Structure 1
Amino acid sequence: MINSLHFSARSAALSFVAVSLVVLALFATPLWYTWRETIEEGRVRILQADARRLVNVFNRQGVAALTSAIEVQVGTQAAGAEDLVLFADASLARLAGNLPAWPREVPAGSGKYTLSIDVDGQPTRVVLLHKTLPGGYHLLVANDVAKYRKLENLFLYGLICATGIVLLLGVAGGLLVRRTLLAKVGDINQAAAAIMQGNFSHRLPAYGGENELNTLVETENRMLDQIEQLIGGVRNVSNAIAHDLRTPLAELRSRLEELALTRPAPAQTFDEIDGAIADVDRVIDIFNALLRLAEIDSGARHSGFVEVDVASVASEVAEFYQPLAELHGRTLSFASSGPLVLAGDPLLIAQAIANLVDNALKYAQRNGKITVATGRAPDGGILIAVSDDGPGISDEEKPKVLERFYRSDASRGTPGAGLGLSLVAAVAKLQGGTLTLSDNHPGLTATLAFQPT
Structure 2
Amino acid sequence: MRQPSRMTVRARIALLAALCVAGAVALTSMGAYLTVYRSLYEQIDDNLGSRAANALTTPGLTDSPSGRIPIGFLSLTDVQYTVIDDRGTIVFDIGQPKPAIGDAERRVAQRQQRNSIRTDERTDSRVLAVPVPGASEDLALVVGQPLGPTRDLLNDLAVVLLVVGGLGIALAALAGAAVARASMRPVQRLTQATERVARTGDLRPIPISGDDELARLTQSFNTMLGAVQAAQEDQRRLVADAGHELRTPLTSLRTNLELLLAAEAPDAPSLSDKDKREIYADVRAQLDELTQLIGDLVELAREDATASVWEAVDVGEIVEQALDRARRRGSDLHFQVWVQPWVLIGDAAGLERAVLNLLDNAIKFSPPGGTVRVRLGPIGDGFAVLEVADEGPGISDEDLPRVFDRFYRSPEARTLPGSGLGLAIVRQTALRHGGEVLAGRAPEGGALFTLRLPGVPA
Do both proteins adopt the same fold according to a TM-score greater than 0.5, normalized to the shorter chain? yes
Give RMSD over aligned pairs.
Answer: 3.7
Matched, 1:17 2:18: yes
With 39-48 and 232-241 compared, the bigger mean Cα shift is at: 39-48
Shift of 1:131: 2.8
Name 1:248's counterpart in structure 2: 249
**Hey, what does 1:448 align to over in structure 2?**
452
Pair 1:148–1:217, CA change in 2 (3 A): same
Call closer, same or farther: CA 1:438–1:252 in 2, change over 3 Å.
closer
Structure 1 residues 19-28 or 8-17, which shifts more?
8-17
SS at match of 1:278: helix
Cα distance, 1:47 vs structure 2 = 3.6
1:112 and 2:109 matched: no
Shift in CA distance, 419/34, structure 1 to aligned 2, threshold 3 Å: farther
Which amino acid is the alignment partner of residue 256 of structure 1? L
**What secondary structure does 1:141 align onto?**
strand
* Structure 1 residues not aligned, in runs of 5+: 78-82, 118-122
Q: Does 1:103 align with 2:100?
A: yes
Alignment of 1:300-449 (within 5 A): 300-302=307-309, 305-322=310-327, 324-325=329-330, 327=332, 331-336=334-339, 338-363=340-365, 370-388=372-390, 390-392=393-395, 394=397, 398=401, 400-409=402-411, 411-430=413-432, 432-440=433-441, 443-449=447-453
Structure 2 letter corresponding to 1:334: V
SS at match of 1:327: coil
Q: Tell me if structure 2 keeps the 8 A contact 1:88–1:102.
A: no
Equivalent residues of 1:307, 1:344 under 8 A apart: yes
Please tell me whether the aligned partners of residues 187 and 205 of structure 1 are also in contact (alpha carbons under 8 angstroms): no
In the alignment, residue 375 of structure 2 is paired with which amino acid?
A
In structure 1, C-alpha distance between the alignment counterparts of 2:248 and 2:358, rounded to whole Å? 25
What is the match of residue 27 of structure 1? 28
1:131 maps to: 130
1:370 Cα offset (Å): 3.5
Q: Distance in 2 between matches of 1:224 and 1:292?
A: 26
1:242-297 alpha-carbon deviations (Å, 9 max, x no partner): 10100111111122223334532223312211220111121111222222233343
SS in structure 2 of the partner of residue 222 of structure 1: helix
User: Which is worse superposed, 145-154 or 412-421?
Assistant: 145-154
* Alpha-carbon distance between aligned partners in 2 of 1:23 and 1:403, rounded to the nearest angstrom: 65
User: 2-side partners of 1:188 and 1:35: how far apart?
Assistant: 52
2:382/2:454 contact within 8 Å kept: no
Partner of 2:204: 202
Q: Distance in 2 between matches of 1:309 and 1:416?
A: 29
Verify: 1:288 aligned to 2:295, yes or no: yes
User: Take 1:197 and 1:309, find their aligned partners in 2: how far apart are those partners?
Assistant: 46
- The share of aligned pairs that are identical, in percent, is 22
Q: Which amino acid aligns with 2:449?
A: T
- Between 1:246-255 and 1:156-165, the stretch displaced more is 156-165
Whether the aligned pair in 1 keeps the contact of 2:18 and 2:173 (CA below 8 Å) is yes
Asked if structure 2 preserves the Cα contact closer than 8 Å seen for 1:21 and 1:167, the reply is yes
Distance 1:102 1:226, change over 3 A: closer
Are the equivalent residues in 2 in contact too, given 1:133–1:139 (CA < 8 A)? Answer: yes
* Aligned twin of 1:144: 146
- Does the aligned pair in 1 maintain the 2:296–2:419 contact within 8 Å? no
Secondary structure at 1:386's aligned position in 2? strand
Question: Cα–Cα, structure 1 residues 5 and 176, in superposed 2: closer, same or farther, change >3 Å?
Answer: farther
Describe the superposition over 1:141-177 as per-residue Cα deviations: whole angstroms up to 9, x where unpaired: 3333245446535643552453244234224313423
Q: Which amino acid aligns with 2:451?
A: T
Closer/same/farther in 2, CA of residues 106 and 401 from structure 1, 3 Å limit: farther
Contact 1:86 1:140 in 2 (8 A): yes
CA 1:96–1:12 in 2, change beyond 3 Å: closer, same or farther?
Answer: same
C-alpha distance after superposition, 1:329-386 (max 9, x if no partner): xx532223x3222333433322211111222333457876543222224332343232
Q: From 282, 286, 307, give the equivalent of 1:279.
A: 286
CA distance in 1 between partners of 2:49 and 2:412 (Å): 109
Query: Deviations 1:192-213 (Å, cap 9, x if unpaired)?
Result: 35424545331233332222x4
Whichever structure has more helix as a proportion of its residues is 1
Deviations 1:391-447 (A, max 9, x none): 33659854x5444333345543332212112222333344x3322214346643321
- For residue 158 of structure 2, what is the aligned residue in structure 1? 156
SS at match of 2:438: strand
8 Å CA contact 1:89, 1:138 repeated in 2: yes
Q: 1:222 to 1:26 in 2, by over 3 A?
A: farther
* SS of equivalent residue, structure 2 residue 117: strand
Query: Is the 2:335–2:371 Cα contact (8 Å) retained in structure 1?
Result: yes
Q: Is 2:60–2:71's contact at 8 Å kept on the other side of the alignment?
A: no
Summarize the Cα distance change of 1:184–1:323 in structure 2 as closer, same or farther, 3 Å threshold: closer
Q: What TM-score, normalized to structure 2?
A: 0.79
- For normalisation by structure 1, the TM-score amounts to 0.79
Cα 1:102–1:353 change in 2 (3 A) is closer
Question: Hey, what's the Cα distance between the residues in 1 that align with 2:227 and 2:394?
Answer: 33
**3-state SS of 2:308 partner:** helix
Deviation string 1:34-87 (CA, Å, 9 cap, x unpaired) is 3323433444344444445556x39xx799999524422124x5xxxxx44333
Alpha-carbon offset, residue 387 of structure 1: 3.4
1:114 partner SS: strand
2:55 matched to 1:93?
Answer: no
> Retained in 2: the 8 A contact 1:433–1:451?
no
Count residues with an aligned counterpart. Answer: 428
